[in-house]
Each structure stands twice: as structure tokens, then as C-alpha cells.
Structure 1
Amino acid sequence: MDVTKDGTDYNCTEACDNSYYGYNCTEKCNCLISSVPCNKSTGMCPGGKCDKGWTGESCNEECSEGYYGSNCLGFCNNCLNTSCGIFEGNCNDKFSGPQCTDSQPIKNPGLITTIIGGFCAAVFVIILTLMLCIVYRKCCRSKKQTNHSYMEQNNKICSSTTDQTEIYENVKGNFSSAENIRLSFTKKHDRKISIDNISSNDLPDEEEEGNVNVYGNVISENDICQYKIRIEDLANVIIEKRHDEGFEQEYKMFPKGLIHAHIEGSKEENKAKNRFLTTWPYDHSRVVLKGDTQYDYINANYIDSYHKQKAYIATQGPKRNTLRDFWHMVWQENVCKIVMVTQLEENEKKKCYQYWPQLTNDPLEVDYYTLNMQEEKQHSEYVYRLIKVKHKKAKEERKVHHYHFTQWSDHGVPDSIKLVNFYRAVKNNTSDQQGPLLVHCSAGIGRTGTFIAIDSLYEHGKSVGYVDIVEYVKMMRKDRLNMIQTFEQYEAVFEALQELFTVPDTSIPLQDFCKHVDKQDNMTVPRNRNVYRLEFQEYSSNGSFLVTQCPLKETVVDFWTMVYDHDSSIVVLLDTPNEDARLWSGKDKTLKLEGFDIDLDIDNTPEGVQLTLVHIENQPDKRSIFVFYAKEFENGSPSLPSTTDMIVLLERVTEQRKQRTGPVTVVCRNGATKSGLFVALSLILEKMKIDDQVDVFQVIRTMRLRRPEFLSNYDQYEYCYKCIKYFIEQDSVYANL
């Protein structure tokens, strides 16, 4: 009896042709790219991409009713008498368009003439518009060649295969077929006009994070290549897009709404598990709960990175009734890091149910899971929590690192420096577990998509030297709807990537700072002053300080008005006030100003004086103001004070702040030189105590984005390092006494 081997012919002498596989080569391959052979034994296609109308591991199962296209990912439900075609999703009666989505009754013969006439008119308008566009582009070509020189370089990195329907890209090294990045550009979906809208009656009680159409479509593959940006050109691209509304225009091209099948999320028994009525996970990429669970549904999708399939899980913020499902998913998927980019409540709206214990060492029981928060630490931009998860049935324990970013408002975008600092904190914590990174906000699409895009694009950009943000947003949206929800969030991805690629991580662990400064001999300080200044572009103040110049005679009232209006109760004078602009009088004397009386209460203290500020119009509204005046600073000399004097002053002000509220008003002759030093050192020390790290560069950089006059020379920058080193050494001495 003749026995043949899978993948060979009847004589077992030759491998199957590219189009066939299996026993005696009798099974036909159904791969999307016919020129690439399937597996000769199993029939599996490269990357699991089946031809139109087929699905399954071996691509040998026809699409079910209502589905069509490659891997049966297309979904149609508007056919009148039967299902759409499994290959192209062709239309039937009373619906037009390639996928039966445009409702157009066209059977009445009396309308044919009208339709033909309208069609001809539309064609004429389109031709006329194209001619005008061509003329306009020719007029602007010379300008674009000057301003868009980086685009010529980008064209060199665009693949010659961009006109193909399927793109396969290996980023670096030899990846398995499962790690090949697959991007499908479906021509028949190109720029379809949305026809379905959600009415206000369908909205849930909780408002979704953005206003979107529920059904939409995708970008043409011909548009993709031009959006590859070399790392060195990123800054220029950002400037240009801001100038011509490029971010907004690009964002409008992305596929919006539900473009793939989403049956499970819309089922009646699962609706209560969705935080928003119109935010459903796609069936093909949803996380399916397995094992000991009554239902397999959770509103979560796998998202691919450039280097790995299912690198992320994008999910909504847990609800009370999905708490068990959430932790079951964390356990099932071996998640060791959770990134949370929402608050529990924002603008008096519930955004997420608290799914971790309230206090450390106060366990929370969730079905078969016992959660014990072993550590909770507040950092300047985020909260870190270490949660031990115990599975009572499996008798196994795991650790989950929880990173909660607290600087991202709903519908808004965070400061790029703060976001990057948070991102680096997440990445710096390595773990042996290989599960996906779980990211969630409220709906699990806007802020979640922004963070995921930053991570994937940054890691990919380091390997290849360019980023294609348009491509990756499309890549995310094929697996979860509306990832990155506003054009402002889209712009934030650009800004964060520029920050990551151009500014190194300058934070130094507290315990290593002194040795680092001594060893490097201040090599961490950027000595190229031109580069240093170019980095400072924008700033977000934390409101802890008011910085101003010594008032003139005609601005004394304005000075005290500012102090009063901002509830400042501490003033730090780093220069002697102008003689004709007294801020208070002597003992037992009242300085009367327009609207204010200022009395001297306590004089001749080592630190300064205590005043009473009386607002005449609002009597008896009296404010106690403590004024520090540093005699070591008040000689008017531009020379830097000793590190000892500066640290002593900072400590005295810090002690006084414990007893008072409101911002500290810092005053020097020009409102920049000495004030900038004082504020910078205050913020560096404050951040150091919170984060157990020293980052002189980022603090000063952030300040200079707001006011470039701060710390405008290298000596002042170096002085900050010396002061912090002195503070740490002195603190260590006192700690050992």
C-alpha cells in the first residue's frame, strides 16, 4: 500500500506546488498573497492572512453569513434578501456601495435619467476640482521644495511595494512569522462617507471621551508612504504641521468608528459590562476570558507593536460589575504591568472603579483572587503601587506593578515632559514576566491609544531611524476603534517622541548623585549653550511660586495687590528694595498705600520680618506676611552666593511654608537671576524628596520654557549641582548623628 507524506505528491518525490498542500497535495492553499506559498503540511498562510472569503488556521473555512473579505473580518448587515458576497461584500437590492452601506433605492426606472444627469454633473465638478488642485500645487511647489526638504529624504525610506494590498516588514533580526507586521490597506474602503450616526438617546449616562461617528472607514494605502519621518526631521515636521493645521488634517483621514465585526460586545448580556454604549471591542482581536468563568466577555482588545503581536491590552476602566473579569484577565494573560492614565473621577463623572486595595496591607478579596497592596508611593507625576495577587485555587502568587499617571485631564493632553518622565518610569521597571502591557483610561481608546503609540513608535524608531505615526494609528485602529481620540492627542504623540529621541534621561538616583557628580566632573551638564537653549519651548507651571522684580515707586501698590490676590503669605527678598519704593515702614509705624495698610509686627529676627497686610476695603481682612531678606544676597552683586547660604535660606523658607499656605513670592532686582536660582533649587529638592532621584536638567528646562531668562548661563547651572551635592552630604551627616 502506497503511503505518501504530507506536502509531497503521490510518489513522495516532489514537494507540493505553491498552490497546494497536505496529503497527496490535494488541498488548495487560500492565502491572500498567492505568490507566497502556504505551509506544505498544514496549509497555514504567512502571518495567518487568508484570501478573501476564507478563514481558519489553514484558511480552509468559508466565511459565515454576514462576513466577507480576508480572514472574514469584514462585516455587513444591510443586505435586503440575503447575505453579502463572502469575497467582496457585494451589495444586493436597495443598498449600494461596495459593502452594502449606502442606502439608495434605485429600482424605479423613472429615476434613471435623473441619476445619470446627476452623475455627469458630479463627474464634471470632480474634474474641475482636480484641475484647480493641480494648478494650486504647481504654484506652491517651489515653496514646498524649500520647506519640505525632509520629505525628499523620507521618500527614500518608503518601500517600492507600497502599492500592494499587503505589506510585510521585518524590523530587525529574524522574527517568526507571527512577529511579522501585517498592515492591510483595503482599497474598497477608501474614504467612504459615514452614514450612521449615534443619536443622543443612545448615549450612556457617562459621557464618552470624544464625539465620533460609530461607523467610518480607512486611509488609502497610497497616502501611507509619505508619512514616514526621519528622527532628525521630527522637530521640523512638528513646526510645519502646527503652522498649516497639519495635525488636524491628518487626523481627519483616520478610520473612525466601528469598521470590523463587534457582535460579542453588542450582545444583550454583555451591554452592562461596557462603560460606553458605542465602544465595543472587535471580535477578531478581543480578549477572550477562559477557564473558570461563566462568560468569556470583557471590553478589551489585543494591540500589536512593531516587534510583537499582542504586545498590549487596551481596555476600558473597570466597572464594579467587571472587577472580577478584569483581574481574571490580568491573571490569564500574565500581566505584570498596568498603566492607568485616568483618574477615578474627573469633572464629577465616574471614569473608573477602584480595583486595587484602599490601603497597604489591607487585602481586597475579588472572587478567587486576593489583592494585597504591598507598596504605594506618590511621585511628582504619578503614583506607583506594587500589588501582590494570590490565586486561591491555584495557590500561586504574582506581583503586578501599577503605574497611575495623574497629570492627564479628560479630553486634554498632558505636558510632554511630564508624560515622558512617566513613560520612562514605566519602562525602567523591568520584569521577568512576558505578558502584554495592559493600558487603560476610561473608554480605553483615547489616552490609552496615545500611550501605546508612543511606546511602540519609540521602540521601532530606535531600530530603523524613522517613525510612521500615521501607519501605526491605522494599525491600532484595525484592532480597536478610535485609538487616539482627538487630533490634540495625535499631536501629543509627536511631541513625546521628539522629547524621547532628543532629550536623554537625565535623572540620577539620589544615592548615586554625589558619586556621579564627582566621577563625571560635571560631564552631565550640557556645555553646548546653543543646543541647551533650543530645547526650551513651552512650560506648565505648578503654581508654587510667584516670581517678580523689585517693585518701583509706582508699582509698590501693584506688588502688594499681587501678594494679596494670590494669597501669598511668604515673600523672599533676594535683593535690597529700591530706596524710593519701600515695602513697609519702621516699628510702630504704618505704611499707608492705596487700598492697603502695612504694619511691621516682628523685626530683627535672623530670618526676616513679619508684617500684617490690611486690605482697607475688606476690613477686617488681615493677612500675616513673613518676609525673608537674605543679607548675604542683598549686595546687588551678580556673583553667586555660597552654597551654604543658599541651602540655609531654602531650609528656613521650607520650615516657614509648613505653617503657612499659598505660593511663595520670590523677588530680585531683575526678576530672573537670583529668583531663578532660588526657585530651581526649591523644585529640584522637592522633586528629589518625592522621587528619590535628582534631575537638575529637566527642572531647569521646564522653568526656562516659561521664562528663558532663568539660569541663562552655565555657571548658574553648575551651581545648582554643587548646591544639591552639598545638601545631600549635609543631610547624610545629620542622619548619622
Structure 2
Amino acid sequence: MNCIHCVFHVAGLLAAFAYEDISYKKFAIQSHTSTSANSEASNAVDGNIATCMRTGDIGSTSNHKTVWWKVDLGRVYNIYSISIHFKNYDGYRCKNASVYGSNCDTPCPTNCKENTCHMQNGTCFACKPGWTGTYCNTKCGKGWYGVNCSQHCVGHCKYNMSCNHATGQCDKGCASGWTGTTCNKECTDGTYGHNCVKNCSGHCLNDSPCNKQTGHCNGGCSPGYTNGDCSKEDISYKKVATQSPTSTSVNSEARNAVDGNIATCMRTGDIGSTSNHKTVWWKVDLGRVYNIYSINIQFKNYDGYRCKNASVYGSNCDTPCPTNCKENTCHIQNGTCFTCKPGWTGTYCNTKCGKGWYGVNCSQHCVGHCKYNMSCNHATGQCDEGCASGWTGTTCNKECTDGTYGHNCVNNCSGHCLSGSPCNKQTGYCDGGCSPGYTNGDCSKEPFNNNKPNPSDTGAVTVGGTVGSSVIVVIGVILAFLAIRLKRKSTNMAKRQSLMMETKPIDKEKPNTGLSNIQSCGSNTNDIEETTYALPEKTKRGPPTNKNIAVRNMKAQITNMSLNENAGFKSEYHDTKERRTYIATQGPKPKTIADFWTMIWQEEVCNIVCLTNLTEGTKNKCAQYWPDINDKLQGGTLTVRHLEEKTYAEYIFRRFKIHNKSTRTDRQVTMFHFTTWSDHGVADPLSLVVFHRHVIRATANSSGKYTVVHCSAGVGRTGTYIALDALYREGERTGKINVPMYVRTMRKDRMNMIQGDDQYRLVYLALRDAFSGRSKCLKTEKFLSYYQEHSCYTNCGDVEQKKLYSSDLEELLSLRKEYTQQDYISGRAQISANYSESVFPVEEFLCHLSYIKGHNTYYNAVLLQSFLEKDSLISAQYPLPDNTEDFLRLIKDFDARVVVFLCPLKDIESTSIWYPSSEGQTKFDGMFYIKNLSSTKAANVTINRLNIQPTGFNQMDITVLECPKWREKQKTSDKRILLDVIKAVKTEKTNEKGRVLVLSSDGATRCGPFFVVYNVLEQISVDREVDIFTAVRQIQIRRPECVSTVEEYQLCYDAVAEYLLNDCVYGNC
């Protein structure tokens, strides 16, 4: 190396986030200076990258054998970093070498052309054929090859594979019918097959060439040859033939059967009662003995006498015609139908009409509205199961008359709808409300009138008084008895109502072998959810003791349980010295807050799990026992300061510092507050599991002695969570769990732990979700390593290669919740209002529009939650031409301030109806007045600001984003487009309140990757973690069709990786 062109910067620590160049303009010297102009040692520290120090040459031709450069910093420093800057040219250093960097010791990227790269940053000047990108690390896309991936594959490769990304050749050979280096040359006449290595038989009719893919003679065989490729010789061809008797018809000789001409035939004379001939025969003399391969009889091409008007065909007229041939008649030779019966099609009439079609030749379209969204009968067009709600008639194409509703319109409305309006023809409900004095959805109930005299009132009071007196006496006796018993009890009782329960902590070093196959037994998710669950105490003899649930078989075990769910479990709870202890307690009341924090301090608690809100409905459930953020709470010797708070969609994490004045010591306590679980109700199983996993990760290194768990009363929700946590840890440790036995264990110490069958059922469902679909949560830096290891998820030239992403997706699809027909009742009742018949909204999450007379309340849209906000997102389909006003109502009713179209607006048929395309333009659509305020175009996103004014309501400003480069016919998007539109949405959300409405053709395709990446970016910003797998699972709970292809799942990974590599601000990722 004969020169060093650099600026040498030595940086020392100046402040927390800034560093000083302590070498700047200090005294510098070097071993010997180059004779080139302006190469002094001081140039390296003058702060100007345009000037450089440079030494003289060293080596065999120089007197100098070493080289050095020094700078005197003036005093001793703690050096933070040394930064070397190179002059901006590619002159001498590392020239023609396959290395780069300050010491020329880093190899250039493998796929740089001639293995040369930029001496400073290692970027390639050019790539080897088949590669592209700054570092030539991106393989050419499918169908492209060569230098800069600029050449299109033109050949026909075997198995329909793409050509080699570097050479353009077909690595596995050519497809049938093609040859050449790149398989772009068709086989020459007389050859066929892969690479054209096979020869035709040479016996095709009229010496025509055989098919170059199959070798068959498409035009038939030369006389004397048969088989598809005419390779088999007809040994009877033009041999001597005789018959008896011969027909008197012209040209019916025996030789016609072996002349190779299907237009001529042999024919015998008549036989039977009116003929002298009682038998018939035909013979051919082959000339010698042969081993016969087959005998092929061909019929003359007319339908004259044989099998005439019979429902049979074939050489012996003994094969029945296909069942669905019209009038049971078919071709006498091959059995093909002349015409099909209604409802069938195909050569043999064995293909049923496709969904939505019926009749002769399947030419008529179903016009009715059948029950359960079934298609009409393929033959008659009628609805076999009856009409859908709101329809009647032979083909269910007549809407119910006013005053009737339901399937086939057999139900009568109550007649009590407000203003005499008809009831809903599907449900019977009075959508506009009830007439005065009536209630219920269908206005069929008359409210109870407390003012009416009741002739039995006096009797009721007398009986009530008598019974009441008896009850009081009984209660008095019981209380006296209990008082005596209590005196005999030991007085050494805890002053607070708490419970300690124990289980084994997770062994973080132990692999989860054998615990991930919960779904491997072939049962679907609904099997578990349809099982009846009864608490152990509700059975006569308690849980049996002959069997545990193996975690890997848990789903099958639950599915096969009888109505008495305890039939099949064994008592075997593993207790060890390494115990994790819970304190189960009721929610603090205002008077017990000080006692609560005293307990937290005394019991060395570092973690609190809160499962209740402060108020639920009109009832107070728990006092706010913590101070507001950055505030403090004082009581006795303890001071509690609120340090930090993180709010998620379904839970809140808070961090406190407790200071004890007496001991002058501090302790930090973390509170995990699950906010979406009502008292006596049930949480969503997956949501509870996601919260539980987050708690486990956050407390993995906790030093606390106990974990406090509480709800309001400290029994129902508290017991459910403790059971989940304890049994999950037990399953991780031993591979098996025993739910009934653990519940009994808890209830020995505290009665009523887990209240009701629904909460008991939740334990099973949550454990199922915890052991299946394991969390794939990674820190951001580990995610990038994981992504780079699996980035080649596509076939990469090997059709048998299967990567992890496709395996993940298969697992996700197997875990999707399966809904019933009833769960899609609104969508199925409004078929014409859906873009697609394959994606309907789940009823529980459907966005019901407000009632307006004469308008529908249905739109194909569902509420979703982001990572940080509950129900803040909406997934919807594009507006149909007849439903644009309903689309605008959706925006108004659900306060959607940001509306995202994942395609160009011009690609949607209905856009011209409601959207004013230029600034200042206005449109009227039903009750809405829409004005375009401004439009801004960026590379991948167009931002349109609109004002909409609904008649009789306040106006609202909205932002409409569209993706002009993501055309509707494209299956997937470039990750850059997806990230740019999400970035634009987040910018708008910062300035606007309200929900984000995202639309695609069916509300699932395209929407899925958007919501997953949107949520994961929020996860990165708050926790610096990535869990795409769980994000997809949560979206699929509400929109099961989201992210249902490998391409969309891969797009999620690509977009998140792109964000972390290029978009993420340092310190936030």
C-alpha cells in the first residue's frame, strides 16, 4: 500500500449524546511525506475531507520499510471512538483488490463483478449476472436473468420453473417440445419430449409430424398402425378375411374390416326366425402365430341400426348410457350424451352446474335468495332448504310483503313498530323503534305497569310476611351456631383476605420440545368451544383421578370430553422447592389503600396483576390505589411514586417506586392492568394469552417474592388468571396439566376461585391458545438476523424447497377460528351489498350503520384494534355503485377521519359517484355534500383532503389516501408502497382524532398486510419488539380471511425489515 488518503478523527466523550473531535487542528506528524502536493500530516485533522495526508512509498523499491502518522492530543483522554475518513476518490488504496475498508481487510460482497467494490463502503460498481442491488445481494426476480437482471427468460423450462437467474438456462432441462441452451427452440419435425431427445414413430397419417410435446399423432395413424403415437402395428391389416353370412347390401365384404378405412365396413346377413342362418361369424387369417396385445373394434361412423333407441352403448350394446343423459340416450360407440338433463353439463353429463347456475346446459342464473346463502337447486332453480329471511316464492325471488318476515315470510310482524312502519323483513325487528308502550327488538312486549291493581297483592304480602318471619328465625339460629363455632377457632388469622398459591417457574433453559403440537390431532377450533364445561364442584363425585391432559394432546382431550368434563383427568400436581407464590386478594377500597401498599412492601411484592376496571357500568369495583403519572401517594412510612405508564389496546403497564422512610430503602413495583374483562364475564382467550405472555416477558428477571393478583372480589377473574399462569408453567415444565385438580387446590384455600362455567371454560380456551401458535416475539435486532436468515423464502430455483414463512402461514391458517353460518347472518342476508361472496363480516365485530328510514344498516366493514388503541381501525370493502351513500354513512357513524384506499381511486367503479376528483369540485351523493379541499401527490401516496356535510349533521374534514401505483390487478405490493402509506396514516393520526378506515376489494385482501405492519410498527415504537405471527392471529380473529396467502405474509416481513433497516429513527427501534 503506497499511500493513505484519510482524515483521522479521534472522538472523546463530551456529553450524553454528543461527541467532540479532540484531534481537530492538533499537532500532527508522519513518518515521511509524499512528494505529491499538499500531503502534509496536518491535513488529516484540519476538518476538511477534501484535503488528505499522504506518506511516501514503502516497499522493496523504497528506503522506507514502515509508515506511521501521529497526532498529539495535548493531554490524556478517554477515547470513545476513532473515525477515519477517506478522500472521495478511488485512486490508489485497495485498487484492483477484492477488499475494502480502512485497513483493506474486508472482502467485497460475493456477487460484485470481478470481485471489486468501492474502497470505502464496499458497494459494488457492477454485479455479476443474476444479481442486483447496491451490494449485489438481491437475486433476479422470477422470469429475469443476466447483468442487472435486464434480460427476460424466453425459454420453456421443465416443470414450468423460471430460468437460471444468472445464465438464463433451464437448470432442470427443457419442457416437452423445446430444446436449446435457453430452451427457446421448438423441437424439429420428427422429435418430441424434454429437450427433444425422443423420436416420433414415423407412422402418423400422411407422414405428418407427431405432437412435439407428447409424441402422439394428432391427425391419426397410417393404415396398419394404431395407438396414440401410432407405434403399434395392426397385424390384421389387409389380411384375408371371411364371414358368414354376407349381407346383400353393397360393399359389405369381410375384407372391409381390415382395410384400414373406417368409412368402409363389413356386414353380415340377417339371422333369426325369418332367416336360414342361425349363427354369424367373421374371421381373419393372420398368416402365422402371434402373441396378441389387444383387439380393437371400430364402428362405422353412423348411428343406424345398432343399439337404436336403447339406453345402452358399446360393442355388445350392454353398457348403460350415463345417468344424466336426456331421455337416457347416448352415442352407440362412446356413450357420450347428445343432450343433458337439466342441472348437468359435460360430454357425459357428469358435471353438476356450478354455484349460482341451473337448468338445461346450466344456462340459467339463480335469481333467488336461498336459506343459509346456499345456491339454488342445480336442476330446478328452487331453494331446497327454503328461502332466506325476507324472501318467498318458488325461486325465492319475491321479497316479503309488508307485515311479514323471516324464512319464506311465514312470520307476522308484531304490528307495534313506530308510526306503523313495517318491521325488518329479515329479522322482524322494528329498526325505527317501537310504538309507545311496547319494548323488545320486535316491539312484541308490553312493559309491566306498576300502577295496575293486583287482586293478589294482599295475599302476597301475607305470605311474604309469614315466610320472611320463618327465614329470620332460621337465620338467627344459624348465626348463633356460627358464633359458637367461631369462638372455638384459633384467633391467629390473617387480617387481610388474601390467598397464596404455588407453582413452578418456567425453566428458561429448557427447550419446549413436544409442547407445540396442540393442533395436531385433527380437530378444529370450534370443537373446543362447543364443549360443555362444568366446575368440579358441580359434579357429584368430583374429578376422577385416572388421567392427566398431555399438553401436546390437549385439544383432542378437550374435544372428546363428555358433558361431564371431568371424565378423564387424574390428580397429579407437581410441587417443588422452587415455588412461585401468588397473593390473591380483592381490589382495594378507599379505606384499605394504605394497608394494601403495606402488604406490598412487607410481602416483598414486585409485580401486581390487576384484572378489573375502577368502575364497570354504574358500580365501583376498585379504588384507584395508585397515584397519577409523575405524582406520589403517601401513607405512614411509605411513599409511592408513579414513574412510568404504557397504554396498550387491552392493558396498561405502570411502574412505581416505593420509598420506606423507616429503612431508607426503595423498591420498584410493576402493575399489569388488563382492562377488557368485565366482572362475571369472560375475556377473549387470545387477548388474555397475549397479555399473559407480555407479563411473563416483563417479569422474567423479577426478584420479587410474590405476585399479587386481584380483580374486584378477588375470586372469579383472579382465580381464572392464576389457573392460566400456574397450569401454563406446569405444562411447560412437565408436558401435562390437570385443570380440575388445580381448581380444587385453589378452592381448598379460597372458595369460589373461578366463578361460573364460562370462566372455567375460558381456562381451557386460554390454555389451548397458549400452547398452540407459540409466540414468535423477537427484539428488533434479533428479528433482523432472523429475517436475513430466512429472506429467500421463495423457491430459489428449487421447487421442493420449503421455507419457514410458508410453514408459519400454514400454522396460522390452522389456528383460525371457524365461525358458523349464524356468525355471518347479516352479510349473507345482504348478498348484493358485498363485493365478494367469500368474505363476510363476523356479526360480533360488524360496523352496524345508524338507522335511517329507507336505508340499509349493513356495510361490509369490521372493527379492529391497533396495538395501542382498542377498536381504532376499520377493515372494509370498496363501495359498490349502489352503496356509496352507505360508505359515507360509515365514515360519519364511526368518525373515520383517515380513509385509505389500497389502490388508485380510478380503478374503482363507484369512485365517480361520490368523489370530487379536482380541487374545489363538489359532489352530491344522497344526504351528503362532498367538497375537495386539496390534493397532494407523493411518490407512492396521494393525499386528498375532503369536507363532507351530511344533511342534518355537523360537517367533518377527512383525509383520503390512495395508492396510485398499487393497481387493482396486482396481487401484492412493493414493501415501499405499503410503508409509505402507513407512514402517511400515522402522520395524519397525529393531527386527527377518530378512526382509520382501510378499504380493499373485499375488505381482507391487501388490508391484512396493512393492519399487521401498522400494528407491528406500533409495537416497535413502544417495546422495541416484533411479533408478526401474533399480530396476524389477532387480526384473523375479526377478519379470518386476512393474510391468507404466503405472498401477503412475506410482504409483512419484508415491510417490517425495510422499516428497521432504512426508516427507523435510531433509539426508537
Task: Give the TM-score taking structure 2 as reference length.
Answer: 0.41
**Inter-partner Cα distance in structure 1 for 2:564 and 2:987:** 50
1:584 aligns with 2:915: yes
The alignment partner of 1:562 has SS state of: helix
Matched position secondary structure for 1:354 = coil
Equivalent-residue separation in structure 2 for 1:321 and 1:465 (angstroms): 44
Which residue in the other structure is 2:435 paired with?
A: none
2:883 maps to 1:552: no
TM-superposition CA deviations, 1:610-664 (whole Å, max 9, x none): 2232323x16x3232322121111x223242222222111111221222323222
CA-to-partner distance for each residue in 1:382-428, whole Å, 9 max, x for gaps?
32233232332233333323222222222222222221122122222
Q: Structure 1 residues 371, 579: CA separation in 2 closer, same or farther (over 3 Å shift)? A: closer
Of 711, 717, 727, which aligns to 2:1043?
711
Larger Cα Rg: Structure 1 or Structure 2?
Answer: 2
Give the letter aligned to residue 545 of structure 2: C
Aligned to 1:342: 612
Aligned position for 1:611: 946
SS of 2:622's partner is coil
The Cα shift of 1:508 comes to 1.4
- Partner amino acid, structure 2, of 1:491: R
Instruction: Give the 5 Å matches for 1:268-287.
Output: none
1:63 is aligned to none
Contact 2:603 2:705 in 1 (8 A): yes
The equivalences for 1:137-152 within 5 A come to none
Deviates more, 1:498-507 or 1:537-546: 537-546
Once the two structures are TM-superposed, the CA of residue 483 in structure 1 deviates from its matched residue by: 0.4
SS of residue matched to 1:398: strand
Alpha-carbon deviation of 1:432? 5.9
Quick one: which amino acid aligns to residue 398 of structure 1?
Answer: R
Cα deviation, residue 315, structure 1: 0.7
CA pair 530-682 structure 1, distance change in 2 beyond 3 A: closer
3-state SS of the aligned residue for 2:759? helix
Match of 2:659 among 385, 390, 393: 390
Match of 1:450 among 707, 720, 730: 720
2:637 matches 1:368: yes
Deviation of the 1:350 alpha carbon: 2.2
User: Is 1:229 paired with 2:509?
Assistant: no
Matched residue, 1:201:
none
Q: What's 1:399 paired with? A: 668
> C-alpha offsets along residues 291-328 of structure 1, whole Å, 9 cap, x if unaligned?
xxxxxxxxxxxxx9844678221111112222232222
Q: What aligned pairs does 1:22-37 form with structure 2 within 5 A after superposition?
A: none
5+ residue gaps, structure 2: 1-477, 489-501, 506-535, 568-572, 794-802, 819-841, 846-863, 866-870
2:986 partner SS: helix
- 986, 992, 999: which is aligned to 1:660? 992
Q: Please give the alpha-carbon distance, in whole angstroms, between the structure 2 residues aligned to 1:515 and 1:225.
A: 48
Does residue 417 of structure 1 match 2:417?
Answer: no
Structure 1 counterpart SS, 2:776 = coil
Matching residue of 2:587: 317
Q: 2:548, 2:613 → 1: CA distance?
A: 34
Q: Following the alignment from structure 1 to structure 2, what is the Cα–Cα distance between the partners of residues 80 and 627? A: 70
Alignment of 1:273-672 (within 5 A): 306-307=575-576, 311-360=581-630, 362-428=631-697, 429-431=699-701, 433=703, 435-519=705-789, 521=791, 525=805, 527=807, 529-537=809-817, 541-542=864-865, 543-575=871-903, 576-579=906-909, 582=912, 583-587=914-918, 589-603=921-935, 605-606=937-938, 607-616=942-951, 618=952, 621-633=954-966, 635-672=967-1004
Q: Conserved in 2, the CA contact under 8 Å of 1:550 and 1:577?
A: no
Please state which structure has a larger fraction of its residues in helix: 1
Q: Is contact 2:817–2:1040 with CA below 8 Å preserved after alignment?
A: no
Identity score, percent: 31
Per-residue deviation, 1:590: 3.6
Please say if residues 227 and 470 of structure 1, whose CA atoms lie closer than 8 Å, have aligned partners that are also in contact: no
With over 3 angstroms needed to count, the CA separation of the structure-2 counterparts of 1:731 and 1:354, relative to structure 1, is same
Give the letter for the 2:1002 counterpart: N
Alpha-carbon contact 2:611-2:677 (below 8 Å) kept: yes
Deviation of 1:219 after TM superposition, in Å, equals 5.6
Deviation at 1:238, TM superposition (A): 4.5
Q: Secondary structure at the match of 2:749?
A: coil
Per the alignment, do residues 584 and 389 of structure 1 end up closer, same or farther by CA in structure 2, a change over 3 Å counting? closer
Amino acid paired to 1:411: H
Q: Which has the higher contact order (CA 8 A, sep 6+)?
A: 1
- 1:312 aligned counterpart, secondary structure: strand
Per-residue deviation, 1:724: 0.9
Q: How many equivalent residue pairs? A: 476
Query: What is the SS of the residue equivalent to 1:373?
Result: strand
Which consecutive residues of structure 1, in runs of 5 or more, have no partner in the other structure?
1-75, 87-168, 173-215, 251-303
Distance of aligned partners of 1:380 and 1:519 in 2 relative to their CA distance in 1, 3 Å threshold: farther
Distance 1:611 1:385 in 2: 40
Kept in 1, the 8 Å contact 2:902–2:962? The answer is yes
Give the superposition deviation at 1:339.
1.3
Q: CA deviation at 1:221?
A: 5.3
Partner of 1:62: none
One-letter amino acid of the counterpart of residue 815, structure 2: E
Provide the aligned C-alpha RMSD in A: 3.6
Give runs of aligned pairs for residues 195-210 of structure 1, distance below 5 A. none
- Whole-Å separation in 2 of the counterparts to 1:701 and 1:426: 19
The answer (yes or no) to whether the contact 1:227–1:469 under 8 Å persists in 2 is no
Maintained 8 Å contact 1:370/1:391: yes
What are the equivalent positions in structure 2 for 1:168-187 lying under 5 Å apart?
Answer: none
Equivalent residue letter for 2:963: A
**Distance (whole Å) between structure 1 residues aligned to residue 808 and residue 694 of structure 2:** 27
Cα distance change, pair 504–735 in 1 and its aligned pair in 2 (3 A): closer
SS at match of 2:686: helix
Residue pair 1:381, 1:405 contacting (<8 A) in 2 also: yes
Quickly say closer, same or farther: Cα 1:654–1:394, change in 2 above 3 A: closer
Q: How far, CA to CA, are the matches of 1:614 and 1:608 in structure 2?
A: 20
Residues 626 and 528 of structure 1: is their aligned pair in 2 closer, same or farther, counting only changes over 3 Å?
A: closer
Q: Secondary structure at the match of 1:490?
A: helix
SS at match of 1:455: helix
| Aligned-partner SS, 1:553 | coil
C-alpha deviation, 1:687, in angstroms: 2.9
Cα distance change, pair 321–577 in 1 and its aligned pair in 2 (3 A) = same
Q: In structure 2, what residue type is equivalent to 1:578?
A: I
Q: Deviations over 1:414-470 (max 9, x none)?
A: 222221122122222234636222111111111110111111111222333322211
State how far apart, in whole Å, the 2-side matches of 1:171 and 1:655 are.
Answer: 46
Equivalents in 2 of 1:427, 1:80: separation in Å? Answer: 43
Change (3 A) 1:661 1:390: closer
Q: Name 1:680's counterpart in structure 2.
A: 1012
Q: Which amino acid aligns with 2:885?
A: V
Offset of residue 593 of structure 1: 2.6
Structure-1 separation of matches of 2:482 and 2:815: 60
Supply the distance in 1 between the matched residues of 2:590 and 2:574 (Cα, whole angstroms).
30
The alignment's TM-score, normalised by the length of structure 1, stands at 0.58
Say if 1:353 and 1:511 are closer, same or farther in 2 by CA, change over 3 A.
Answer: farther
Query: What is the alpha-carbon distance in structure 2 between the residues aligned to residue 400 and residue 697 of structure 1?
Result: 30
